Amino acid sequence: MIQQTQFTKTVGNAAEINELLRRYGVKFGIYKNGVFNEQFFPFDPIPRVITAEDFASMEKGLIQRVDALNEFLFDIYHDKKIVKDGIIPEDFIYISKGYLAECEGITPKNKIYSHISGIDLVQAKDGEWYILEDNLRIPSGASYPLIARELTRIAAPLAFAENEIVDNRGYAQLLKETMEHSNCGGIRAILTPGRYNAAYFEHSYLAEHTGSVLVQNDELFVEDNVLYHRTYSGGKTRIGVLYRRIADEYLDPLTFLPESLIGIPNLMEAYRSGNVGIINAPGNGVADDKGIYYFVPKMIKYYLGEEPILKNAPTYLPFYTEDMKYVMDNLEKLVIKDVAEAGGYGVVFGSELSKEKLEEFRKTIIAEPRRFIAQEVIDFLDLPILENGDGMGDTQTVMRKADLRAFVLSGEKTRVWASGLTRFSRNPASFVVNSSQGGGFKDTWVLKQVNSEQ
């Protein structure tokens, strides 16, 4: 395994890079007490480094996993063989909030449901990578390392001259090809809920770099089951593929939540008719449900007849009697996740609860066993972070928890972007790395050649 610390000094000019990120508006929105604020996403100049050998293995594992998840989605919205064959209990499908009966029988173009999959991994201290969760609905974050790489190449060219790093700047092209593969005839569009969405920077940046039109719902309409963009001259332009960045339930008020003000009436009819591709497909939530996560290794064996290459974090489902017993006996050392929550919310570390709270939580799990999963706390590999790298004080290198979101794009082939979003916790005591919880990000270098142990 490569020693991260050897790269501590390779990318300098941290303050300048953060200044450039400010200049280019690399922000994310956050609501606090009902008030919208835009924050700059703190960037750490010390890259995460992944060797070519490590990446090759991870790449195979990710492709395998996403291919199996796509098979699963097709199966669940058609024959449900995996349920009939007793691999996954029916409860886990139909109780899942992500399962949408309205998507039954719909086959998206090329049978791809998850076009852009954000798979979260952590590396343990022994170098082993573990999958933490799959994000198959609207995974965000690719734009941050993408623009950071552009800017670090300007601010620290030597770092790139001296290290053999795979160029990651082709993400927009990869995304464009993925969108085109699902295009049912028309222009490419990215649907955003608007300026005050947390990931608005990403929506607009990806639209710019893929040559797509960034749209909001009131610019769109469906006529004769075809989706159109309403132009300012009163005309219309057909949309062939819609990369939507709004949640399933808000997509179409005539199919899902009638109170949605950001959806497009009859969009689902246009989609069902095969007149527009939707990226990612509605209904994917059934496959990235934290409860379903437990079954992904079984899916790989079932659909692909292969052994899983990447491991899940050791996970227990209180739904099963045996697992419930283990969870009850070991609650204080496990991390418990509410399957309905995301963004780092609904995550409870047993070790952080008082005796009273632990007992209270125990009762909740017993009452609602399907609502939670429990996982062993993985001893993450800490990564070096340059504290005060934004030039606001004396700098020093400290070690912090970090994860990696890998982006897997499924088009003509399933491909893994040779980069990813490495997020880290700025709080030394925390495992939670989400930007909404104050985390930062760093570049992820995939090396071209295998580096020897140093």
Partner 1 sequence: MSTISKEHSDRLYWLGRYTERFFTTLRALDKMFDKMIGKTHVYPEYLNYFGLADTYTDDRDFIRSFLFDMSNLNSAASCLERAYDNGIVLREEISTESLSFLQIAKDTLKKAENNGSIRLSLLPIEDIIYSFWGSVNEHIFDDEIRNIIYIGKTVERLDLYMRMKYPYEKVKLEYVRLLKNLRRVPKGTPYRYNTAQLSVIEETLGTREDYERGTGGAIDSLGHLFDTSEVYA
Is the CB of 24 or the CB of 349 nearer to partner 1?
Answer: 24
Q: Is 35 in the site for partner 1 (CB under 8 A)?
A: no
For partner 1, which residue of 35, 105, 162, 232 counts as binding (CB under 8 A)?
232
Q: Is 32 in the site for partner 1 (CB under 8 A)?
A: no
Query: What is the distance between the alpha carbons of residues 98 and 282, in angstroms, rounded to a whole number?
Result: 9
Q: How far is the CB of 203 from partner 1 (least distance, A)?
A: 9
Is the CB of 113 or the CB of 201 nearer to partner 1?
Answer: 201
List all residues 6 or more positions away from 76 whose beta carbon is below 8 Å from its beta carbon. 82, 83, 93, 99, 286, 287
Is the CB of 29 or the CB of 369 nearer to partner 1?
Answer: 29
| Gap between the terminal Cα atoms of the chain | 9
Q: State the binding string over 237-276 for partner 1 (x if CB under 8 A, else -).
A: x---------------------------------------
For partner 1, which residue of 3, 110, 231, 351 counts as binding (CB under 8 A)?
231
List all residues 6 or more positions away from 87 whose beta carbon is below 8 Å from its beta carbon. 295, 298, 299, 302
Query: What is the distance between the alpha carbons of residues 437 and 358, in angstroms, rounded to a whole number?
Result: 23
Is the CB of 132 or the CB of 190 nearer to partner 1?
Answer: 190
For partner 1, which residue of 216, 427, 436, 437 counts as binding (CB under 8 A)?
216
**Count of positions (residues) in the chain:** 454
Per-residue buried b or exposed e for 149-160, using 16+ beta carbons within 10 Å of the residue's own CB: bebbbebbeebb
Q: Is 213 in the site for partner 1 (CB under 8 A)?
A: yes
CA contacts within 13 A on the Cβ side of 76: 31
Phi, psi for residue 246 in degrees, rounded to 5: -125, 155
Q: State the binding string over 130-159 for partner 1 (x if CB under 8 A, else -).
A: -----------------x------------
Query: What is the distance between the alpha carbons of residues 172 and 76, in angstroms, rounded to a whole number?
Result: 31
Is the CB of 245 or the CB of 400 nearer to partner 1?
Answer: 245
Query: What is the distance between the alpha carbons of residues 151 and 41, in angstroms, rounded to a whole number?
Result: 14
Q: How far is the CB of 347 from partner 1 (least distance, A)?
A: 32
Contact 425, 431 (CB under 8 A): yes
Q: Is 280 in the site for partner 1 (CB under 8 A)?
A: no
Q: How far is the CB of 212 from partner 1 (least distance, A)?
A: 7
For partner 1, which residue of 13, 51, 70, 212 counts as binding (CB under 8 A)?
212
Task: List Cα–Cα distances, 59 to 1, 55, 267, 321, 418, in angstroms.
Answer: 17, 6, 34, 35, 9
Residue among 247, 167, 236, 158 at smallest CA distance from 199: 247
Query: What is the distance between the alpha carbons of residues 141 and 202, in angstroms, rounded to a whole number?
Result: 7
Is the CB of 89 or the CB of 265 nearer to partner 1?
Answer: 265
List all residues 6 or more positions away from 352 whose beta carbon is below 8 Å from its beta carbon. none
Q: How far is the CB of 158 from partner 1 (least distance, A)?
A: 24
Determine the size of the site formed for partner 1 (CB under 8 A): 27
Task: List Cα–Cα distances, 316 to 104, 312, 369, in angstroms.
Answer: 29, 11, 11
For partner 1, which residue of 22, 78, 84, 333 counts as binding (CB under 8 A)?
22
Contacts of partner 1 in 162-201 (CB under 8 A): 187, 194-195, 200
Q: How far is the CB of 240 from partner 1 (least distance, A)?
A: 12
Q: Is 233 in the site for partner 1 (CB under 8 A)?
A: yes
Sign of CA dihedral 443, 446, 447, 451: positive
For partner 1, which residue of 214, 331, 373, 446 counts as binding (CB under 8 A)?
214
Query: What is the distance between the alpha carbons of residues 415 and 278, in angstroms, rounded to a whole number?
Result: 19
For partner 1, which residue of 208, 306, 352, 412 counts as binding (CB under 8 A)?
208
Is the CB of 96 or the CB of 192 nearer to partner 1?
Answer: 192
Contacts of partner 1 in 403-442 (CB under 8 A): none
Q: Is 8 in the site for partner 1 (CB under 8 A)?
A: no
Q: How far is the CB of 286 from partner 1 (least distance, A)?
A: 32
Contact 264, 275 (CB under 8 A): no
- Footprint of partner 1 (CB under 8 A): 22-25, 147, 187, 194-195, 200, 204-205, 207-208, 212-216, 218-219, 229-234, 237
